[in-house]
Amino acid sequence: MKCLALDYGKARVGLALGDTTTKVAVGKGVLEGLSQNKLIAKIKAIVSLEHIDRVIIGLPINLQGEATIMTTEVQRFIEKLRNHITVPVQTFDERLTSAMADRLMQTDPHSHGKQDQVAAQIILQNYLDSAVV
């Protein structure tokens, strides 16, 4: 099964692709400066072009496992996305992925703007490594 992961943010959305057979997640880039409608159209195109079977979206919850303001925003986006694509959309706990991406990016002087892509890659790799798959 081929998966597309999203690290959803107000300004940027990180993308990663992976496969449940190889269990390897690879960064696919960042979408930024798009309205939600344009963002959904881009995601829909990627789903079609890459033959995606499932979309995984990082769910931002706090360290205690509780919802935040951003959790609600991501859930609203998911509902809108589900109305435009035919593949399943699933959330996955993204706690600490941004912090992990920050640490990884500190060692790369050319990493500006790639944090969201790396966060999406971490979300997807954690998903592929989990027993959920």
Question: Quick one: how far is CA 87 from the chain centroid?
Answer: 15
Nearest to 17 by CA among 49, 64, 59: 49
Q: Which ranges of the chain would DSSP assign to H, the alpha helix?
A: 36-49, 69-82, 97-105, 115-129
Cβ distance 15 to 5 under 8 Å?
Answer: yes
Query: What is the tens place of the pLDDT at every residue in 69-108?
Result: 889 999 999 999 999 999 999 999 886 665 554 555 555 6
Phi and psi at 52, nearest 5°, equal: -75, 135
Nearest to 62 by CA among 96, 102, 14, 22: 96
pLDDT band, very low/low/confident/very high, at 115 (cuts 50, 70, 90): confident
Nearest to 133 by CA among 23, 50, 31: 23
Domain 2-129 CATH assignment equals 3.90.226.10: no
Domain edges within the chain: 2-129
Give me the percent of the chain exceeding a pLDDT of 90.
65
E strand or H helix at 91, and its extent?
strand 89-93
Confidence (pTM): 0.87
